[in-house]
Amino acid sequence: MALTLYELAAGERRFSPYCWRIRMALAAKGLAAKRIPIRFSDKVQLAFSGQDRVPVLVDGDTVISDSWRIACYLEDTYPDRRALFGNAIARGSCRLINQWADRVQLAGISPLVTYDIFRHIDPEDRAYFRASREKRFGRPLEAVQAERDERVHDFRASLAPLRATLGEQPFIAGDAPAYADFIVFGGFQWARSISEFPLLEQPDPVYGWVDKMLGLFNGLARQSPGYTW
């Protein structure tokens, strides 16, 4: 097996949304990868990649970081396997979905689960995590957590374009899932891996779609340690 994926870990939990995009993409391509857990305090182990963020994929002599670049690499290197994009228009258009996920979906989820991440990560990671996140949010993690029952309504409202899409078709990519689905699913799987706070509630087409995504590839995501909403 030539592939190795470095992914963010808290004990048995693998919770980076960007890593989950690639876990799903690898599964779609039918590619197995050795998985190396990286804690926040292990990031020096990524120095070989020339940067310090997960995911990092190693394929033989090739080292690639950044989930978008990894997805493009997989599509270009393994074009005869199931398509992540399938053509240039899909790849281009998915980049806007990738940016929407990063800047709207993940930015919306982050304050809702940040204290739960703190609770789950290994003790040696906690000082770094608390300091960096409290600087970002401008207040204690406990204060961010205390706002979430109110804040989740805005988060759910921000999913309106996704909700409407999934009310019209089974997957973001249409009748079958592709990389657009893996992008957005990664955010929910991130939260689900580390937090019992229900980001979604039934009835909601987004909830139903997450459930379908959890079952893909023999239940890959559902079987990973996480909570049930």
Site residues (CB under 8 A) for a copy of itself? 83, 85-97, 99-100, 102-104, 160-162, 164-165, 168-169, 171-176, 178-180
Nearer to a copy of itself, 46 or 200 (CB): 200
CB within 8 Å of 114: residues ≥ 6 apart: 133, 137, 141, 144, 145
Least Å distance, CB 156 to a copy of itself, is: 14
Least Å distance, CB 190 to a copy of itself, is: 18
Least Å distance, CB 89 to a copy of itself, is: 4
Least Å distance, CB 45 to a copy of itself, is: 28
Q: Determine the straight-line distance between the first and last CA of the chain, rounded to whole angstroms.
A: 35
Nearer to a copy of itself, 18 or 197 (CB): 18
Nearer to a copy of itself, 72 or 214 (CB): 72
CB within 8 Å of 209: residues ≥ 6 apart: 166, 170, 171, 172, 181
CB within 8 Å of 70: residues ≥ 6 apart: 22, 25, 55, 57, 64
Long-range contacts from 26-29, C-beta under 8 angstroms, 24+ separation: 26/74, 27/216, 27/217, 27/220, 28/81, 28/82, 28/84, 28/177, 28/178, 28/179, 28/182, 28/217, 29/74, 29/78, 29/81, 29/82, 29/84
CB within 8 Å of 179: residues ≥ 6 apart: 21, 25, 28, 71, 75, 84, 85, 94, 173
Least Å distance, CB 120 to a copy of itself, is: 29
Nearer to a copy of itself, 38 or 162 (CB): 162
Nearer to a copy of itself, 127 or 160 (CB): 160
Nearer to a copy of itself, 155 or 179 (CB): 179
Least Å distance, CB 119 to a copy of itself, is: 30
